[in-house]
Each structure stands twice: as C-alpha cells, then as structure tokens.
Amino acid sequence: MKTLSCDVLVVGGGSAGVAAALAAARQGAATVLIEQASQLGGMGSQALVHTFCGLYHPKVELGPQWLNPGIPTEIGEELLRLTGQAGPDLMGRYYVLRSHPAVWAALAARLVAAEPHLRCVTHAPLQQVRRETGQWQVLIHERGAPVDVQARALIDCSGDATVARLFAPELAETTAGQHLYRPAMVAVFPGVAEPLTDERRMELIAHVARAVKSGRVPAAAQAATFRSSPCSDEVFVSLDLEAGGEAWDPAREDQLQAAWATAQAAIQGLVTYLRAAHPLFQAMGECRWPDRLGIRESARWRGDYVLTGGDLISCRRFPDEVALAGWPLEMRETARGPKFRHFEHAEPAGIPLRSLQLSALPGLFFAGRCLSADHEALASVRVMGTCLATGQAAGVAAASLA
Amino acid sequence: MPAPRVSAQSILDLLISEQILETDLPLEPNTDLFSQGLDSVAMMTLILQIEDRFGIALAPTEMKREAFATAGSLALFLNGKLAA
C-alpha cells in the first residue's frame, strides 16, 4: 500500500482547507491536502456558491478594507483581478466579493500547485483516522486505491467534522433538524443577453411571482434569487430549500436526493418559463447544475472554546484571537429568506485559537464551517471569507508543531 | 373621492405580520424599506402578499424602485393603480 508521510495533513479542499494547506506549506511544513472531489474549492466551486462574504471590514464608511491579512487578502485580490472587477459590491450593509466558481477553482489549483512543500491529492475521500505513538494515521482512498498518510498534525476542514465522525464522534455537535440552516441549490443560466441590474432584478421578481401564482412554475421557485456573473454572460440562480423542515439531515443520502429533486424541478420550471416569457432569457443555453447542494450547516467540533453568537454580536475580542469575523449572523433556518442579526457595532469580532483546537487531542485542528462554535455563531463564521481566515490560522498553528 | 383602499399602515402591518422585514426600529410610513432589509426574497413575498391581500397583481414593467422605497410611496403607487 502506498504511504505518505508529512508534517501537516489537511482534510478538505474548500476555502478553509486551501487556506490551511497554503499557510502550512508556506511555513515550511511538509503538507498534504486531501479532497474527495475532483477539484478544489468546496462550496465555492462544487456547489457554485459565487459570493465571498466576510472578506471586508464591516464598517462600510471606510470603503472596502480587507479584514484578514495574508491569504484571505491575497485570494480576494486575485479573485478581483481574475474577474475584472475593481472592488466588491455593497449588498445590503456589507461588502461582498462576487466571484465565479470556475475562476475560484482554477485559482485554488494554481496556488496549491505553486507550493513546493504542498502535495494535493484529489478524488480521495477519508476512510479512517487513528492515532499511534503521537502521530495521526489516516487512510484515504485515492481513486479507489488505499493510501496511508502519517502526519504530526491534522486539520479538519471537511465542513462536516468528518474527522470527528471517524475518530471521536462524541466530540461532534449538531443542531436539531428544524433549526439546521437550510441547504441551497445554485445553478448557472448561460447565454443571458445582458447583466441583471437592480431594476431588471425587480422585474424578474414580478415575472417569477406571476409564474408561481399561475402555477406555471413550482411554488418552491418563489425563493429563487438571481445574480449576474461578474465576468461572463451567465446568471447564477440560487434557491434555498425547505428540505423537509425538521427532518433535514445533510448526512442522509435520501434527504440529499429529495432536496436535489425538488430544487432541480423548481429551477427547470424557471428555465422553461423564462425562456418563453422573458426577452433576456429567450436565447439562454442549457442550465448548468452544481456537483453538490450548498450545505450551510451539518456537524462541527466541540473544541477548547465554543464561540457563541453573543460573542460575535458584542464584537468580543480575545487575547488568543487568530482570525476576525466581519459577517453578521445570517440565519437561514427557513427557505423564506435570511434573518440577519448584526453585530452591535460595525467592528469585527475575534475568533480565538481555542475554537480551532482541542487540548485533549494535541496536533488536531479544525477550521471553516466545522470549527468550535454554536449554531448562531456558525451563521457568521461559515462564510467563505471567514473560512479562508480560520483555515490560514489553523495552518499556521499546525505548522508550528512540525 | 373614495377612501384609498391601501394605507401605508396596512403595508407596514403586512411587512411585520408576514415577517417580510424584521427590525427593532419602529417602522414609519417614510422609513426606507431597502435599508431595513427589503431584499429580493422579501420583495417576492411582499408582492405575492399584495396580490393576496389587496387583489393587486403587479406587472414586471411596474416594478420601480421608487414605488417600493417606503410604505407611503408603495401605498400611493398601489392606490394609483386601483384608481386607474
């Protein structure tokens, strides 16, 4: 059996994992990044999520200010350059960087490939996690073939606390089904004649409302929102899903299938309707589907400190903070739109290192959506901009053990 | 002239009762709705509710930002449609 040995093993190649792997490798640690899908980027490529939130300082009167130095700023700047944008959009009260899934996936791949101390293994789901004589022993299947990876430090950036599930399930937390943040499907409508201005988006809302009222598209399509790509003639259509309400469990294949089917029917209904009824869409190409549903919440670690919604809202800072959160609590417990709970001040909140580690398990770190936070805090720290920051922090911490 | 069918207050009541906007501030007829969270999803719910409650269906060409800026402007706009 093939074996690999490294200083730092990063599980999951989404925004957090890419940042963690780059950070560790740039510190000189021999780093391996594993990703189960065929490409890097996580939700930002696999699920076609096309906005990076949490990259900017929340005080918008300052103009766009990068919030977390290092890799989040580097990636933010590259995304702007590659999509031909001068800066972010102001969406509601916050700056948001409009991205493109293919651009992010390519950027992640390029940055990772450029690091001499970093080896990336794709098509490699995690199978087993053990601990032996102070080292992590991890079994992966690379395109079906078993590979043993030995690492001094392990960073769980799986989004679903997969390492916990395999190694220490009692350390994983989840949320009751009815409160679990709803999944979404994002699809791409290519060949849309012109970009969607605010005015056009309002017209589109009325169109879709009529289509829903007259039964020409499924009622689930009511939750659809539209946003133009910054760098192509494509429109991203996002649809939040009720996904069975309190029965929703993203770990269950049957649930994922059911949510997928509902979403696809609703979006396909929109395609048919808009092609017939709306001049901007009449010549659109075939709708492009994501590889995965967008998952906003699944399971997370319980670390040395559980970051709370209250911490974030009060803009609490910590002596051991390693990243800054600048996105409000965007709570999507239903498909009827987000409920925002804003920080008390237009200032960032700190994320402590203790939320990325567990002293009982030395050499283990977690970052991104599955870090140690309560359900409310997750509504803020799950966004990709913040994941880049917590990933970077975990990567630096893990490398320091090498 | 007959009494207007849609009042600014009835719009505000609708925004709160249907949880279209959630805000700590007391909503006034001249509160800017966009700054209080009237985004795409809220707008969709609002116009579907307007149709249910007041029987007014809005055509895509009628969807002007100025009309939706405040509860007052929206009431004015809707009453204008009713009078026409």
CB atoms within 10 A of CB A374: 18
How near does any CA of chain A get to the CA of B1, in Å? 30
Minimum Cα–Cα distance from A207: chain B residue: B60
The CATH number of the structural domain formed by B8-83 is 1.10.1200.10
Closest by CA to A99, choosing from A285, A204, A226, A227, is A227
**How is residue A334 annotated by DSSP?**
S
Average pLDDT over residues A305-322: 98
The radius of gyration of chain B's CA atoms, rounded to the nearest angstrom, is 12
**Residues in chain B within 8 Å Cβ distance of A202:** 43, 63-65, 68
CB A291 within 8 A of CB A46: yes
pLDDT tens per residue across span B36-73:
888 888 999 999 999 999 999 999 889 999 999 999 99
**Residues in chain A within 8 Å Cβ distance of B66:** none
- Residue ranges of the domains in chain A? 2-176+298-399, 184-277
Reply yes or no on whether the pLDDT at A23 is more than 70.
Answer: yes
pLDDT tens per residue across span A177-232:
899 999 999 999 999 989 999 889 999 999 999 999 999 999 999 989 999 999 99
Reduced to 3 states (helix: H, G, I; strand: E, B; else coil), residue A95 is: strand
Confidence of residue A77 (pLDDT cuts 50, 70, 90): very high
Looking at residue A402, its pLDDT comes to 77
Mutation to test the B interface, candidates A53, A198, A199, A202, most B Cβ within 10 Å: A202
What pTM did the predictor assign?
0.95
How near does any CA of chain B get to the CA of A161, in Å? 31
pLDDT tens per residue across span A95-135:
999 999 999 999 999 999 999 999 999 999 999 999 999 99
- The CATH number for A2-176+298-399, chosen from 3.40.640.10, 3.40.50.150, 3.50.50.60, 1.20.1540.10, is 3.50.50.60
Confidence of residue A154 (pLDDT cuts 50, 70, 90): very high
Mutation to test the A interface, candidates B52, B63, B78, most A Cβ within 10 Å: B63
How far apart, in Å, do the first and last CA atoms of chain B sit? 13
